[in-house]
Structure 1
Amino acid sequence: MNILNGTEAFAAMMAGRNIMCRVAGELIEFDDLDQFPATVFAKPGYEFCIKIDEITINDFTFLKPYSLDELEEGQDIFLIGNTGSIVKGQFIPEYEELVLAVKNGSVQRDLANAELQAKAFQSLLGVENELVIKVVDFHTYMKPTVKTKKASRKKDETPSEKVETLQHSDEMPSDFPSKKIETDPLKIVESFTSQINECVKVESVLALRYSFSANGYLDREHIHHLFALVEAKLIELDPEQYAPKNEITDLSVEALKKLQQDAENLIKDGQGHSKTSDQDPLILSDLLERAAIAKTPAEANALIKYTSTWTEEQRKPLIDAIHVRLVELNPPVEDASLSVRISKAMDLTELDALEIDVSACDQFVQPQLMELVHKRRAELDPFFNPLGNAS
């Protein structure tokens, strides 16, 4: 599950995704967004995730299987076989048959949902067989690339040696060769640029940008360049939502005082939207400017009280401005002791909780922290094999 911050969650919600929320740092279940105040995106101390759709077949309800854009190399997956088996392993993007299984909807997120999906498929055929759970290393099933030998080499090769060579080639067909991992930053940037240009929906652009930081071969300037291309593409696809807003006109101190008093009187009088609509533009300009220069988070959050009679659409620009200021006042600080806590995790449950904390860290430190998670998981779980060595 990917943990989102307020900015990412708000962008995903604007793109039509269902968002869930919970208090950060507590191991409680995510809840629907309607259980939280409208300003939750602008408040610190909350974390978000995208709600995964559910599928129901013959009274069996399970989460929608993984799609390729949700998976990263080394992520745990559960492959539902056609022989009544569920195979746990780690995702390998270069393993073409595994990628096809994901596209075919045969790869689940956890064991419970894999079992429910398998039983649902059995119910469609009127069968009920026991499921077999296996833990494997998918690297051992990948076929190595066959290298062709030069014709001039070993001209005196005996017939028996030729037969042996042919038999060896038959055992390793080149139908599914391992794909070469691109490591040239310029070629990677060129590939990402092409993908950005081909996007026709905002959702596709938002999903693509999370791949930049996850790529271990790009420098910071490359990632910033790609993010700039993403912002330009978002403005092209939805200028009303993503185009920069005009700067706010400065107001005199007397005008600000009058606007503040008008807003307070409006709240006290409890008047309807007809009067609100006449004063909203001026009051909003004042509140936006005050949000931009707020000295503390409390001062920024207090501005929302002047909009209690506004509609959600009227309030949205102020909420965005408050959130921007809160991010400026409270930049994310990485927990320096997180690596120590990972190395000292007592069991898999504690390690799973720390892995959630890692996903909320800065993208540039996540790979190092995930290496520590994999190392500790291998120590706690004898079936875990992050290095892909055949057992």
Structure 2
Amino acid sequence: MNILNGNEAFSALMAGKNIMCRAAGELMEFDDLDQFPATVFAMPNYEFCIKIDFIELAGISFLKPFSIDELVADQEIYICENYSRITKCQFIPDRVEMRDAVISGFVQRDRENAANQIKAIQKALGIETEIYFQEIDYKELLAALATKNREPKKRETRKKTDVNLDVAKTVTPKGTESTDEPWGEAKNNTSEIVETHKPNSRPAFTVDEVAEIETDTDALLEKFTTQILNCTTTDAVLSIRPIFFANGHLDREHTQHLCKLTEEKLLELDPEQYAPKQIKNDHQIYIDALNVCSKVDEIETTLRGIESEGFSEDQLTEIEQAKQAKLAEFQEKVIAQANEEQYQKLLAELIERAQKAGSPKEANALYKYTVEWTEEQRKPLMSAITKRLNELNVDAPQVSEPPSLMVQIQTAPDLTALDALEIDVASRHPDIQPKLMGYVKTRRFELENGATQ
């Protein structure tokens, strides 16, 4: 199971993979991602993995086989062969037959699931045979073949024959010798190396080319360097790589140097295919994580350790802008909540005063506190005032049908109530303000001169 960090897990999630998570260093099992906060990708001390789906065939379940993008060179794999055999070996990307097996869905993750996959196929086909297991160590046998090729050979003219490097150490059941070895040459119970000659997907090297094995490191480096530089096709470059890997006289630093030369040559011959992918830190992960934060302390947790991510100045600026925008959003929410709390407190106080008002004048005077309120905010107080006016035997509209502003002006009981209504006129549409102000002036004249309606 490959353990992923936050960036890798988020990229895999965006690519459509099912991601699981757990606390880093714990013995607990991985759990589904929905059990963790949305900011977990940017939080420290968590690790991730890709959830592998199960396949069911003929009533038998097994893990979904490997795909090419999951495998790296030398990774342990289990190949399901001929519906009756499992081959354990290392994955070698240059081997076409291995890549074909992966693409075809016949490369499993462990022996148990490989066996279950073969059993399911057998059951679906209505057959039942014994399943054999063999283990192949390519590196060990390639080294053995390289040593054998370095032994002195007689000078003689020989027909050029491709030497296939597919040699293998095979474990066959019941002490029998395997005769069908598509993945390499078998090493039987007597530990004898058997050479076979099979067509390869690309030319390897010939017996004449290895008749005299070089042992001098400098000479070998010069030879392979020349061969790589003189290649005119990518297949030719790729065919040289297994040769210098199998040579026992080159150290690790030498093979790394030659690998670098092959990569440069491949890039020269086919830039589109072999151009290195531009990989950069994805600062958008942090921006997305900030956008889903619900508290200030979550922002601090999300951005912890961001200095070590290697972001550019522009990327850090974008992250800071996202942080400030989120803080501003929190501030707006806090202000809105404070305003709402203040409104509810004042409303409760005014309703209580309305319920205790001893006269219509006292009840109507409460309107002046609602100048900056909306019509919706004012409704509960208006209902309380109207109810109290009814209790005081004042002719007022029913609660179910609040009086219009015009009616309130025409029935204003005193100048104080009229002043409050005049303020309310200013909040109405400009087109009707002149008409309402006319009613205000008329009612003011009536109240000042002691007239009644």
- The TM-score, its normalising length taken from structure 2, stands at 0.39
Q: Which protein, 1 or 2, shows the higher relative CO under an 8 Å CA cutoff with sep ≥ 6?
A: 1
